[in-house]
Amino acid sequence: MLKQLLGKFAENRAEKMLQDAGLSILQRNYRCRQGEIDLIARDGDTLVFVEVRSRSRRDYGSAAESITPAKRRRIIAAARHYLATLPRIPACRFDAVTLDAGGEPAWIKAAFEDMG
């Protein structure tokens, strides 16, 4: 329960940060069989898939370090699923917003790429 509340808090902070930077939030918590995308946003002509990660403690590494290769693969698969619903595929980017205990959110543009 606490983990879910912290996750929602981090997503809300990330959404506000991105909106304040001029991005339009298109969707929150896009889910499909392949995985989940926390936020889908538009940055000009670019579609941005955003992974939001938070850590209440640093015992097991930072929030950024928690985006494992397996997690990236699931996000990319979910993004491909989302893109298949569009009439035209725009330029895309995978960003991350991380929030470590007691700190401010950090926005990592182009945090990873679709290598497929």
pLDDT digits over 42-101, tens only?
999 999 999 998 877 666 667 777 788 999 999 999 999 999 999 999 999 999 999 887
- Domain range annotation of the chain: 2-112
CATH class of 2-112: alpha beta
Question: How buried is residue 17: exposed, middle or buried, by Cβ count under 10 Å (0-12/13-18/19+)?
Answer: middle
What pTM does this model have? 0.91
Question: How far, in Å, CA of 12 to CA of 80, rounded?
Answer: 24
